Amino acid sequence: MTRGKHIDGWWSSAGRVLPPGDGRRIRVGATHEVEGEIIPCERGLHASARAIDALQYAPGPIVWKVRLSGVVVPHGDDKHAASRRTYLAGGIDVSDTLREFARRCALDVIHLWDAPEIVVRYLKTGDETIRDAAWAATRDACAARDAAWAAAGDARAAARAAASAAAWDAACAAGDAARDAAWAAGDAASAAEAAARAAQNRRLTRMLNAAIKS
């Protein structure tokens, strides 16, 4: 918990008044305050320092740049609750921006699977007339993948059943080594995931700033 400091960040709303039970109007330049103990997710005015973190808590597509002040209490590392929130900029419906952001993120990893041509075309253009067809093609591709994985799982189970005890012991030993390697790889994967999320946050922040022209 901090006092006398502020945190600038992002917050989204579904409308232009605070949720039911409050009803105060939200507008750029306004400051809202709450009294009593600040408890994240229970009592307080919330925001996230990073746009990518605010996205997972968004109840709607209207985005605001805000400043939290007064009593500020962190909730993990992805959001804060405060006794005071000032609306610095925004109040814009960014639905189209968020769709474009999602498509760009999907294109970042499109090389990892054999995507149908119509899926690639939709991701690149955002053409809403082909979105349903792109979704259908994606579902078909996923169904085929799941069937292949199931068949592979059955094959592995049969191979284990047929293995001799000695071979199984050797496999277990190899599995232990693989597990140790996987732990090491997991650390690298975690770092890579954090770097990718940071890159996504930079992209989303640029796009939101452009959308609200701040």
Q: Which of 100-104, 109-113, 140-144 has the lowest mean pLDDT?
A: 140-144
Rounded Cα distance, 17 and 72, in Å: 22
Band of pLDDT at residue 30, cut at 50, 70 and 90: very high
Residues 93-116 have a mean pLDDT of 91
pLDDT of residue 189: 67
The whole-number pLDDT of residue 143 equals 80
The predicted pLDDT at position 135 comes to: 86
200 or 20: which leads in pLDDT:
200
- pTM for the whole structure: 0.76
Pairing of strands 62-75, 79-93: antiparallel
H or E segment to which residue 8 belongs: strand 7-13
pLDDT for the residue numbered 166: 45
Q: With cut-offs at 50, 70 and 90, classify the pLDDT of residue 127.
A: very high
Q: What spatial distance separates the first Cα and last Cα of the chain, rounded to whole Å?
A: 29
Q: Which domains does the chain have, with CATH numbers?
A: 2-93 (3.20.170), 97-212 (no CATH)
DSSP classification of residue 98: H
pLDDT computed for residue 107 by the predictor: 92
pLDDT exceeds cutoff 60 at 46:
yes
Indicate the residue type of 67: R
* Residues in Cβ contact with 49 at an 8 Å cutoff, skipping those fewer than 6 apart: 7, 8, 9, 10, 80
Confidence of residue 165 (pLDDT cuts 50, 70, 90): very low
Nearest to 35 by CA among 25, 22, 48, 54: 22
Closest by alpha carbon to 205, among 89, 107, 123?
89
pLDDT in tens, 128-152: 999 899 889 888 887 876 776 676 5
pLDDT: which is higher, 181 or 3: 3
Tokens describing residue 77 = 């590392």
Q: Which residue has the higher pLDDT, 141 or 12?
A: 12
Average pLDDT, the chain: 84
Segment (H or E) for 57: none
Looking at the chain, the whole-number percentage of residues with pLDDT higher than 70 is 78
